[in-house]
Amino acid sequence: MLLYLRLLKESFGFALNALRTNKLRTFLSLLGVTIGIFSIIAVLAAVDSMDKKIKEDLSDMDMNTIYLIRFSFGPSDVPRWKREQFPDVTYEEYEYLRRSVNGIDKMSFNMFTRNENIKYGDKTVSSIRVKPSTYEFIDIEPIKVEKGRYFNEAESNSGNPVIVIGSEVAEGLFGNSEPIGKKIRLYGQKFTVIGVLKKQGEGMFGDSNDVAVFFPVNFIRRLYGDNSDMLTPAILIKPEKGIDIEEFKADLAQKLRTFRGIKPGEINNFFLNVLSGFTDFIDNIIGQMNLVGWLISGFSLLVGGFGIANIMFVSVKERTNLIGIQKALGAKNKFILFQFLFEAIILSVIGGIVGMFLVWIIALILSSALDFEFVLSTQNILLGTGLAAVIGLVSGIIPAISASKLDPVEAIRSGM
């Protein structure tokens, strides 16, 4: 054991000496490893950070939540031209399903629509996300009211002009003054502010509730009707806990098929998008991004491997005489082999550490500049270090074998 520790120490010294005495050559040779490790770890760190953010944003939501809508959230076998002919879900279907389907915990009717401007006096907040819904929506999406309250069932059914606003909307319109009870203008109509949401922060898809407002969906239905091009209706369904989700979906689909008069053998003209399926779709995309990152970075690693091999072949050439003396003094082939292998690994790991250090610096800069946390995990650090060591091992094996097989007499003679 002590022998190998001494061997490792000597190899580390030779590696540092190579860095000192042949700075330009070593720099250019290690550049490939540095770029390769940087590329892979940067991609993995970015993807892991994105995945972490998505999971955090969805952590408060039930993964069995179903979005009943005429669009599919993921790939579909239904041709696009046929999907475009699917009808929108209706408020009447929402009421029918709420009455007839068993196993529903919460269910809301929502409208997806374009962003709008909101006014209070001479102040305007632009590009606000408008989220009209029924009163149950607060029990489906993780909405936390900090001041005031959310609208109730009576206000929801009658379409009262009451509104709950995000924290940034409240700050932009009212500053430090109390927003509850104030009247703001949206769609040319006056709404009474009854609640302010707790600050959430930036969402993964730019969908933070800080810049959103919530009001009864029946208000906008009364204003624009159910067939406006600017409105896309959806029914959100949260099943009871412990229920068989596939049986629930089958019952839900059958009830809606019956209501719409879809004949046996005809395909559904709607989609039941389960939130867990959406996360699986995201996981698949993240996996593909990781794969692409590995493929692109692999070329840099290949170049880096050749660079390490080049350093080691030159190192063997320069130290042929020393190898001969070591062998003449009794050094075994295994000793010489491990000496050069350790040196190759150490050089490669140094290049990898530099690459990961660059990723860390860039992650700090981006995390400070953007409202997004880039994370360089311990797992990725260990992966980068291990990968660099493997590159060094593979690249140094042939030079190390050639060094270990040198004839001591010929090796000493070549240095004279």
If you average pLDDT over each of 84-98, 338-352, 362-376, which comes out highest? 84-98
Q: How far apart are CA 213 and CA 130, in angstroms?
A: 5
383-395 pLDDT, tens digit per residue, is: 888 888 888 888 8
Task: Say yes or no to pLDDT of 193 above 90.
Answer: yes
Task: Say yes or no to pLDDT of 191 above 90.
Answer: yes
The residue-averaged pLDDT of 391-409 equals 78
Backbone angles phi, psi at 371, to 5 degrees: -85, 60
Task: Say yes or no to pLDDT of 412 above 80.
Answer: no
Q: Are 137 and 108 spatial neighbours (Cβ–Cβ below 8 Å)?
A: yes
Confidence of residue 256 (pLDDT cuts 50, 70, 90): very high
If you ran DSSP here, which 8-state letter would residue 135 be given? G
Listed residue (212, 190, 216, 193) closest to 203, CA to CA: 212
Q: What is the pLDDT of residue 292?
A: 74
Helix (H, G, I), strand (E, B) or coil at 273: strand
Q: Taking the chain, what is the end-to-end CA distance rounded to the nearest angstrom?
A: 34
DSSP code per residue over 54-80: HHHHHTTS-TT-EEEESS-SS--SS-H
Confidence of residue 414 (pLDDT cuts 50, 70, 90): low
The residue-averaged pLDDT of 172-184 equals 90
Residue scoring higher pLDDT (346 or 219) = 219
Backbone angles phi, psi at 12, to 5 degrees: -65, -40
Confidence of residue 76 (pLDDT cuts 50, 70, 90): confident
Confidence of residue 380 (pLDDT cuts 50, 70, 90): confident
Calculate the alpha carbon distances from 143 to 140, 150, 195, 279, 341 in Å.
8, 9, 11, 20, 58
In DSSP terms, 2 is beta-bridged to none
Q: How far apart are CA 71 and CA 64, in angstroms?
A: 18
Calculate the alpha carbon distances from 154 to 20, 90, 149, 218, 226 in Å.
79, 20, 14, 11, 20
CA 117 from centre of chain: 30
Q: How far apart are CA 154 and CA 172, in angstroms?
A: 29
Q: How far apart are CA 258 and CA 260, in angstroms?
A: 5
CA 156 from centre of chain: 36
Backbone angles phi, psi at 51, to 5 degrees: -60, -40
DSSP code per residue over 153-209: HHHHHHT-SEEEE-HHHHHHHHTTS--TT-EEEETTEEEEEEEEEPP----TTS--G
Show contacts of 360-366: CB within 8 Å, 24+ apart: 362/42, 363/45
